[in-house]
Every structure is written in structure tokens, then in C-alpha cells.
Structure 1
Amino acid sequence: MAKFTKKKDGELPAVSTASLPDIVFMLLFFFMTVTVMKDDSLMVDNTLPIADQVQKLDKRDRVVYVYAGKPHPRYQSKYGSQARIQLNDKFADVDEVAPYILAERAKMRQELQPLMTTALKVDKETNMGLISDIKQELRKVNALKVNYTTKEGDAMRNIE
């Protein structure tokens, strides 16, 4: 009768690297799907006013942002300290707002175009005249859904 003996060398078997490419691609696809790309770099000071009755926008793909405020200190030497409008990553004049909105609307899918909302992210120190000029330009291109972006909190803190 034969005896069965166990090898007691103490060596570990080699690690199988066959599934390593699968793991790498799985991680790659995971990070590609969850990563959020930065939309715009803010070139204006944007201290948002505070409001107590706010609602969150549901769909971000229907929103076009228009920023307004004093240029950031690093841009004040070139653009001055008066409130300016920022569209995407560049400063713009009031008369450039309407073509920008039309171009952004044209980029949207056909069924989302009537649902487009223009979100104004305006610094709380910005002159109301600039905001009303922006609104006049929005009326010219029939962009009547306007949202004022604010922070949530006690509205009486705006007076301070």
C-alpha cells in the first residue's frame, strides 16, 4: 500500500495576473462615468445673495448659465472693476447675450429646447441695471424661463 505525503516546502503559488486587465478596465470605466468635468472657470466675483424660499433645478442639461459681477482681482487690470458679464470662459458685452443663448439653445436636443432655463448667477453687489439689460436681451430671443441662483439661508443677512 502506498503512502500519501504532502509537500511541505512552504512556497506560495504564483499570483495569477490573468484578471488584472479586467480589473484595470473596470476601474477605468468606473472613473470615466463618475467623473464630473469642470464647466466654467469663474472670472468674476460671485458672492450669491441669500434667500429663504429656494427650489433646486431638477435637470441640469436644460440650464444655460450667465454670470455677472466684478471681475476677479487678477482680471481687474485688464477689464477694470465695473461689473461684467461672463459667458462660458470669456467676458462679454450685453449685446452678446442674445447670440450666446441662441447658440446654446441650438446645441440642445430638439425636445429640450422649449424647456431651456437661463440661470443668472449674479454677485449680490452687482448693479440692477446690468441685470435688467441681460433680461431685455433674453426677452429678444424668447428665453423667458429665468432662474436667479442664490444660496439658502436667512434673507435678512443680505442687508448686512
Structure 2
Amino acid sequence: MTWTAPEATRTEGPLTGGERETLTAFLAFYRSTLLQKCAGLTGSGLAEQTVEPSSLTLLGLIRHMAKVERIWFREGLAGLSYPSMYDAEKGKNADFDDLSPDRAPDDYARLVEEIRLADETAAGVPLDTTFTLRGTAYSLRMVYVHMIAEYARHVGHADLLRERLDGVTGA
């Protein structure tokens, strides 16, 4: 049986509330939107390059966001150390470029798990908490804002990729 990306329900957050609730709700919204853009596609569909000359794919976005989630939350905020998620010898863009449709189920599951672990890591941590990553100080607040921007940019990419792939458009 061929694997397909599962259906994803977009997380809707409160339109009023405090800063923490707003930041976490918007991040959850964009995370779930990326997963929604991938729903119903096989590994081959996720890996297909549809916007020439760009090599960008939905699978590359899934892999990239898993890496970004890990770097900012578990490596940055929690101060943990992990080996490179993707083959370092393939360069810093291996998340985008060194992909295989056969690994799509694992790559998708990795993103879902990194999201869960990121939320677990940040739970209860004050937004003003700071940490140093690669020699620069950051706050958890900045991480949320950065992640919202990162997902929003890539969800825009995902819109175009999906529409070119099979015509699916929508919110």
C-alpha cells in the first residue's frame, strides 16, 4: 500500500488573549497549514519539483521545518546537542536537496515529532527567557516570532507548489 500524507486539521486559535496565547496559536495555525498543504499526497508527490527552475518541494519544506524546529527549541532553548538531522556532507541545504520519496513517511513523522517536542520544551518557559545559540543571544519571544515568519513564508511556497502539482488551492 502506498503511503500518503494524512489529512490535517488546521488549528484555529483565539483572536483575543494574551501574548503567549497569541504567539502559540499563530505558530500552531501555520504548522497545521503546512501539514494541510501536504495532505493526501504520496511521497512522490511531495518530492516533485513543480516550480521550475526552483528545486523547492513540499518534502523539502517538511524536512527543513523539522530541522528548524529542532534548532530553535531543543538545541537553542533547551541547550541540547544533536548530530545533524541530514547528511552534513551534502551541505547546509541537504534538507531541501537530499530527499527521497521513499523516506517521506519518516520525514513527515519527524516534523510532527519535532513540533511536539518543541511545544513540550517551551511549555511553561517565560517568553523573556534568553539563551545563546551559535554565539548570539535570543529570547523565547523572538523564537516564536521567527518561527511564525518562517512558517508563513514557507506556507506561501507550499501554496504555489501544491497548486502546480495538482491544482489544489485554498486557505
Shorter-chain TM band: under 0.3
Over alpha carbons, which structure has the higher Rg?
1
| The structure with more strand, counted as a fraction of residues | 1
Alignment TM-score, normalising by the size of structure 1: 0.20
Alignment TM-score, normalising by the size of structure 2: 0.20
| The structure with more helix, counted as a fraction of residues | 2
